[in-house]
Homo-oligomer: A and B are copies of this chain.
Amino acid sequence: MMSEPPIRFTRGVPAVESFPTTQLAECAVTVLAEQGRIVLQYGQAGGFPLLREIVAREVGVDSGRAIIGNGSLQLLDLYARLLVSPGQVVYVEQPSYDRALTVLRRGGARLRGFPLAEDGPDVDAIEQCLKQGERPVLFYIIPDFQNPSGVVLSLQKRQRLASLAREYEFWIVEDIPYRRLRYRGEEPPTLFSLAPERTILLSSYSKLISPGLRVGYTIAPQPLVNELARMAEDTYINASYLNQAIVALFIGKGWLEPQITRLKALYEPRLDATLNALTNYMSDLATWFKTEGGFFVGVTLKGTVDAGALLKLAQEANLLLTDGRSFFADGSGGNFIRLPFCALTPEEIEIGIARLANVVRKAMK
């Protein structure tokens, strides 16, 4: 008898059926025909000028304040190298994006994680640390549909964080790749709009168009952007203009908004399937954040489990999970499970969560 295929709750990737392949091919052909000599040559580290204009216009700043890179993680790595000296404190949400934690640690940061509630990290605890004299270089935060929890930062906490960043002069690194993927509910303002002079905005087209293009961007105050562009140039010269020009044309043709509409139609039922299956199978075993968008639902088991044993049992049940501890700056998180739902069908999600419930029951014994 053939074994069932594994259900993968491992990587936060878009659904392959969402890629606008034909449109991207059309853009590639046009860009090469009309601007081949520009996009195939070396370029400026700041990025393809038209795309810089597009992303800057969206937040109402000059295009010189935008830098386009090889995805946004690469830009975070450059910021970590530029801003963080070994031993300096960096604040993060707990849990947070595992790769961002790695990049910040590699920059020498001592990470302090602030636990997440339904409305964002514990701002009282942050304020207390600041009042006690701790001086973080930056606070790395994913305020919209957070990776890995799905949490959205409340308006009130956004306002408090903006004000703390001003008062204590730390950078807010606001990473918002999922922001446009709100399936319902209302959008709070960005931290960038509340404290533009203290905020480094990071985002990308990986979740909206395609990760394979590797087009991410940052917007920050001008002096910092100039330093970052120099460091980018001395690291990879420039990110591919070809890919950036394809994205710029895709947006210029008015194709981004319909693409986002299609994504929402594809992903909302997957979010619903996740939340329903959790209610049906896991109510006695766990709590979770009832997100309204993005890629993830973060699940916290009610009891304690041996995280290693849980992963192993899951694998035996054809269920692939990421180790929850990788998302926690302090190494806790053994009872945390990230459920990325976008690349699975509602049926797969239900099967996966049913399997998860069985596995958790076994692991808790």
Contacts and interface: CB of A to CB of B under 8 A. Distances in A.
A103 B73 CA distance: 19
Copies in the complex: 2
A2 interface: no
Given A21-B32, A213-B40, A237 B73 contact: yes
B25 A32 contact: yes
Interface stretch (A240-248, A305-313, A357-365): A240-248
Interface string A100-112: 0011001000000
Interface of A: 11, 13-14, 16-17, 19, 21-22, 24-25, 28-29, 32-33, 36-43, 70-71, 73-74, 77, 99, 102-103, 106, 206, 210-214, 234-243
Given A21-B40, A24-B32, A32-B24, A74 B16 contact: no
19 contacts: A13-B42, A14-B41, A16-B37, A16-B40, A19-B36, A19-B40, A21-B32, A24-B32, A25-B29, A39-B212, A70-B70, A77-B235, A77-B236, A102-B234, A103-B235, A106-B234, A214-B238, A214-B240, A240-B243
A49 to B, nearest CB: 14
Chain A binding surface, main DSSP class: helix
Ranked nearest first, the 4 interchain pairs of A and B with the lowest CB-CB distance are A21-B36, A40-B212, A40-B210, A16-B37
Contacts of A42: 11, 13, 206, 211-212
Contact of A214 (B17, B103, B106, B239): B239
Contacts of A40: 16, 19, 21, 24, 210-213
Interface-central residue, A11, A70, A99, by most chain B CB under 10 Å: A70
B25 A37 contact: no
Nearest to A26: B29
A46 to B, nearest CB: 15
Contacts of A235: 73-74, 77, 103
A76 to B, nearest CB: 9
A71 B77 CA distance: 17
A99 B41 CA distance: 18
A26 to B, nearest CB: 9
